[in-house]
């Protein structure tokens, strides 16, 4: 997704880096459209596409040819984050479909269509075992593995890396409480922020010697998992 929360931040940063953006969304593009209303010069460089990644996600890359842009990069940010563990196999399948299989198929199609480019997968820094979000954890761990395998497979034409943030944008009071606990746990004794994540994103995109890296932007939380 490219129109709200983290996705909106990646869209803004991509525009600042000089790219045009094909902004994918499933349900609403309102936050990005509202931002563009206040930042009118960027409007002509953003194109919207609504698509459900649960079925034939690779066709989203094909649809990009409808827009007057040269495809060069892919940010796999769309994700489902809901409660579920291995007792619920249907939930596991659905979670892996969106969080793991869709990024894989999108990356494969990009590799087929683009001679030189990059992929940045958004995974997760918090990998400790838990029962509540077990299926989500598995899907992101698998995406980490796909990042490494695809980097090897797609070289030298496509670079594949991943960003692994911890909690970034709290939206509820419960999440704010969770953030405070993370701050106490993290070795650097602080929580993540959008600025740090966008600097890491820019580094992975612009440094053409980097591929097969999972860059943790988490104040060291992965050391405690």
Quick: pLDDT tens for 29-40. Answer: 999 999 999 998
**Is 127:222 a contact under the CB 8 Å cutoff?**
yes
Domain that holds residue 80: 5-224
Counted domains in the chain? 1
Closest CA to 82 of 96, 71, 72, 68: 96
The residues, ordered by sequence, that sit 6+ positions from 168 with a Cβ below 8 Å of its Cβ are 6, 192, 193, 194, 197
The residues, ordered by sequence, that sit 6+ positions from 60 with a Cβ below 8 Å of its Cβ are 24, 49, 51, 53, 106
CATH of the domain at 91: 3.40.50.720
Output the pLDDT for position 220.
Answer: 79
Q: How confident is the model at residue 216 (pLDDT cuts 50, 70, 90)?
A: very high
């Amino acid at each position: 997704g490219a129109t709200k929360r983290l996705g909106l931040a990646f869209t803004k940063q991509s525009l600042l880096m000089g790219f045009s953006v094909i902004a994918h969304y499933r349900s609403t593009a309102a936050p990005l459209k509202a931002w563009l209303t206040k930042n009118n010069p960027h409007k002509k460089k953003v194109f919207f596409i609504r698509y459900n990644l649960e079925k034939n996600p690779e066709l989203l890359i094909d649809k990009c040819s409808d827009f007057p842009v040269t495809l060069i990069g892919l940010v796999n940010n769309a994700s489902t984050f809901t409660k579920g563990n291995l007792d619920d196999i249907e939930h596991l399948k659905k979670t892996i479909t969106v969080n793991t299989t869709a990024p894989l198929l999108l990356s494969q199609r990009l590799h087929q269509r683009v001679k030189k480019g990059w992929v940045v997968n958004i995974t997760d820094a918090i990998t400790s075992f838990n029962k509540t979000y077990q299926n989500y954890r598995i899907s992101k761990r698998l995406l980490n593995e796909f990042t490494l395998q695809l980097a090897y497979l797609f070289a030298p034409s496509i670079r594949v890396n991943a960003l692994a943030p911890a909690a970034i944008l709290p939206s509820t009071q419960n999440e704010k409480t969770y953030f405070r606990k993370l701050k106490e746990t993290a070795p650097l004794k602080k929580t993540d922020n959008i600025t740090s994540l966008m600097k890491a994103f820019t580094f992975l995109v612009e440094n053409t010697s980097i591929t097969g890296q999972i860059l943790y932007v988490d104040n060291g939380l992965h050391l405690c998992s």
